[in-house]
Each structure stands twice: as C-alpha cells, then as structure tokens.
C-alpha cells in the first residue's frame, strides 16, 4: 500500500486511521474517518490515493477535529453530499433544525410525504381528487426524479410544451390554457410549501412562466332562451322534468341537489347547507355564501311536491331507480337524450344556474337579492358575467315571469 511514510503496512494503516485518513481494500480512493457524537463517520473523499491528496486530507481532517473540539463542527456543512437522512440525524444530535438544500430534495420524495400531510387533511373531496389525479398523472411522471433546484422557469416552460392529450380522440393535441393552469395550481402549492418548510430562498419559476402560459379564453357562460328550454323540457323523461325545473328555478347545482335533505325544505323556503360530490357528503360548500336560503314559490312548490311524493329516503331528489340523485348519470342519460330529441345544441346542466341568474335579471329582480339567492360574495360577478345577457332575453321576460310565477319577485 502506497503511503507518504516509510512504515510497514500494519503501522501505516494504524497511523492513517489515527490521523483520520485511510483507504479500503480494492479501492483507489481515499476516505476520511472521524469520530463525532459517539459515531464513526467514514466518507469517501472522491480523491485518488496520491501523496498530494493525502496531505490535503490530513489538513482538512485536522481542521474538522478542531471544530469538533470547539463545538463548531456542523455535519451537513462538512459533508454536503451526505444523504438527507444522515444530515437530519446529525442535526438532531447537534441540537439544530435541519433543512435540506433544494438540490438534495427530489420532487417525488417530497410529494410522497406532502400528500399524506396535505391531501390527507383536505376537507374538500373534489379538491383532494383533482390534486391526486394531477400529481400522479402529470407531475410525478415528469418531475419525480428532479430536485427542487432543477425546477426552474425554463424547466416549467419545457413541461408546458409536453402537456398534450395522452389518449382518446385528441391524443397528441395540446391541452387548453385553462387545463394547463389547473395542472399548475398543485405544482405551485407544492413548490410554495417546500420553500416555506425548508426556508429556501429560490427565485420564483412561476414568475418567469407567466409569459409562456396560453392566453385565457374569454368564454362566457351559456344561458337558455325560454323557448329552447321549453323544447328540451317537452322531450325530457317526465320523471326528471321536475328535477330539471327545480334547478333552473333555484340556481342549485347538481351536487347541492344531491345533498338536499327533506329536513332542509321548510314551509316557505329551502335551506342549502350540504352537497354530495362523488358519493361524499360535505357541509363545506364552495364558500360560506353558498349556504343560503331560497324562497319557495307556488310554481316551485308543485315541483317539490312531485319529487317528494316518490322519495322514500332522507334525500329529496332521486334517480328513477330509487337511488340518490347523481348529476353525472342525469347528464349522460335523460338530459343528453332530451337535447337530441329536441334538436337543440347541447348545454351542460350547469347552464341552468347561469340561466337562473340571467332570467332573474331579465325580469327585474334586485341585484342585491339575486346575489344572496346565488350565493355570491359580491355583486360584481353578477354584473360582469350575467348583465350582458339581459338584452338578448328581453323578449322572453313575460314568459319567464309567468314561468317563475309573479310571487317570485315578491318573496
């Protein structure tokens, strides 16, 4: 074994170990050997076994021993290439909090732990489902083996360029701007949490990214003209007619319809306080304003009586089979079929909510009252989103008022 001293092999190894520098059988590299907090730390220096490198390591080891003796030694600084687990272990012995550097934390490793803490405690079933799908389908396959240090603005730009439909009729086509933005939401949340948790002061890659995101499409929600609505209702399965009419007369959405219990219907009003999404009932609606009270007009009462008369359980609305109302099944079957039979361009069930707002403004409902009926936090959205529809619906005003009932404006 080559050494810088002219000792025999046994003496040489003992001297090397005492000095904190050694080599291992079969390896051409030099190793450092330190004792710290009762632990033996043997690490490869990555340096070849040469006299010059040995001298360099002797000097480095002497400095570390001085730091250990004075209490200023920090394992993570001495061995920056050590694993995060080792750094955390020695940081605990040193009485310090350990924060790994971003170049040492893989996105996939962090997300696995983050999901348990964040998604496991998430109260929103919809948000939990959406985050899990985006993480597993889009984020982990692309970023899983990259460190947070590698998540630069350029890396995110390259990621956006890969966002295409993976299968189906649109396979290979770019995703829409809105869908890309939805994918970036959990990525941004994970990034922010990691930087905050580990106190990283990294440049924000999302600021750089803004100019490369597809422009937002200014698509305004659709509403029914009154005659269109009548044609669809003429063709819908009679069992589901009262359900669809309740939606357009109240502005309730499918999940609120599914979560409505009989105890929520009072003599003169409906109290919205629950919803059911993907078979999970929740009392935390989209915002605190969505918990609201809706007046029951004479016209609406007839629809409610019709559905209540055939419901045997705790919930108001049911499918024809007797099970609880499911907006997806409703959309795929009676709703879509009615449009096909009526020869009307398809509109999603959520259009009933937009129509309720636009129709209410058309017949002169006070904007402040409509704000409460819709469960909005301010009047601004009502003006900006629905106000423009009033002009096109003016000729329908009389029919809408008759349909809703004149008591709708008084209640």
Judged against a pLDDT cut of 50, whether residue 1 lies above it is answered with: no
Q: Which has more confidence, 342 or 80?
A: 342
CATH number of the domain at 107-212, out of 1.20.144, 3.30.70, 1.10.150, 1.10.4100? 1.10.150
H/E element, 271: strand 269-272
Minimal CA–CA distance to 290: which of 243, 353, 245, 344?
353
Q: Specify whether the CB–CB gap between 33 and 21 falls below 8 A.
A: yes
Taking the CA atoms of residue 319, residue 322, residue 326 and residue 331 in that order, the dihedral angle to the nearest 10 degrees is -20
Q: What is the mean pLDDT of the chain?
A: 87
pLDDT tier for residue 280 given thresholds of 50, 70 and 90: low
Sign of CA dihedral 32, 34, 36, 41: positive
Supply the pLDDT for residue 12. Answer: 41
Supply the pLDDT for residue 388. Answer: 64
Supply the pLDDT for residue 178. Answer: 85
Residue spans of the domains in the chain: they are 9-98, 107-212, 226-410
Minimal CA–CA distance to 16: which of 68, 54, 59?
54
Judged against a pLDDT cut of 50, whether residue 5 lies above it is answered with: no
Supply the pLDDT for residue 2. Answer: 33
Judged against a pLDDT cut of 90, whether residue 119 lies above it is answered with: no
CATH number of the domain at 226-410, out of 3.65.10.10, 1.10.443.10, 3.40.47.10, 3.60.70.12? 1.10.443.10
Supply the pLDDT for residue 124. Answer: 66
Half-sphere exposure of 314 (CA within 13 A, CB side): 5
Judged against a pLDDT cut of 90, whether residue 389 lies above it is answered with: no
pLDDT tier for residue 210 given thresholds of 50, 70 and 90: confident
Q: Specify whether the CB–CB gap between 327 and 261 falls below 8 A.
A: no
Supply the pLDDT for residue 218. Answer: 63
Q: Summarize pLDDT for 243-269 with one digit per residue, the tens.
A: 999 999 999 999 999 999 999 999 999
Question: What is the percent of the chain with per-residue pLDDT over 90, rounded to a whole number?
Answer: 65
SS3 content of the chain, % helix, strand, coil (to 5): 55, 10, 35
Size of the chain, expressed as the number of residues it contains: 411
CA distances from 119 to 110, 126, 130, 139, 186 (A): 13, 11, 10, 15, 11
Q: Summarize pLDDT for 312-338 with one digit per residue, the tens.
A: 999 999 999 999 999 999 999 999 999
Q: Summarize pLDDT for 150-165 with one digit per residue, the tens.
A: 999 999 999 999 999 9
Where does 199-278 have alpha helices with state H? 205-209, 226-235, 241-250, 254-259
pLDDT tier for residue 10 given thresholds of 50, 70 and 90: very low
Supply the pLDDT for residue 6. Answer: 29
């Amino acid at each position: 074994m080559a050494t810088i001293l002219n000792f025999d092999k046994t003496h040489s190894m003992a001297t090397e170990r005492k000095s904190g520098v050694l080599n291992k059988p079969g390896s051409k590299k030099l190793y450092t050997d330190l004792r710290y907090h009762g632990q033996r730390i043997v690490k490869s220096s990555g340096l070849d076994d040469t006299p010059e490198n040995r001298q360099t390591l002797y000097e480095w080891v002497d400095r570390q021993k001085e730091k250990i003796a004075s209490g200023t030694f920090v394992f993570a600084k001495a061995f920056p290439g050590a694993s995060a687990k080792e750094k955390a272990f020695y940081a605990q012995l040193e009485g310090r909090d350990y924060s790994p550097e971003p170049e040492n934390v893989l996105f996939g490793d962090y997300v696995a732990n983050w999901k348990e803490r964040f998604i496991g405690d998430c109260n929103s079933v919809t948000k939990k489902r959406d985050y899990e799908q985006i993480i597993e389908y889009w984020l982990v396959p692309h970023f899983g083996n990259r460190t947070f240090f590698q998540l630069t603005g350029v890396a995110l730009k390259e990621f956006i360029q890969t966002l295409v439909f993976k299968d189906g009729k649109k396979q290979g086509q770019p995703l829409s701007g809105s869908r890309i933005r939805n994918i970036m939401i959990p990525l941004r949340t994970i990034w922010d949490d990691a930087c905050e948790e580990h106190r990283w002061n990294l440049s924000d890659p999302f600021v750089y990214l803004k100019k490369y995101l597809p422009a937002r499409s200014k698509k305004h929600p659709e509403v029914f003209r009154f005659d269109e609505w009548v044609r669809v209702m003429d063709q819908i399965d009679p069992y589901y007619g009262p359900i669809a009419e309740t939606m357009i007369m109240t502005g309730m959405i499918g999940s609120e319809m599914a979560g409505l219990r009989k105890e929520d219907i009072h003599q003169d009003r409906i109290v919205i306080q629950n919803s059911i999404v993907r078979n999970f009932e929740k009392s935390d609606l989209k915002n605190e304003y969505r918990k609201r009270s809706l007046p029951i007009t004479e016209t609406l009462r007839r629809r409610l009586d019709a559905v209540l008369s055939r419901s045997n359980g705790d919930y108001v609305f049911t499918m024809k089979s007797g099970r609880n109302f499911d907006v997806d099944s409703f959309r795929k079957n009676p709703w879509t079929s009615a449009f096909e039979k009526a020869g009307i361009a398809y509109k999603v069930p959520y259009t009933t909510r937009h129509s309720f707002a636009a129709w209410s403004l058309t017949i002169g409902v006070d904007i402040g009252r409509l704000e409460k009926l819709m469960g909005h936090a301010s009047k601004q959205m009502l003006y900006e989103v629905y106000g423009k529809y009033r002009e096109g619906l003016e000729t329908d005003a009389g029919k809408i008022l008759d349909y809703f009932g004149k008591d709708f404006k008084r209640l």
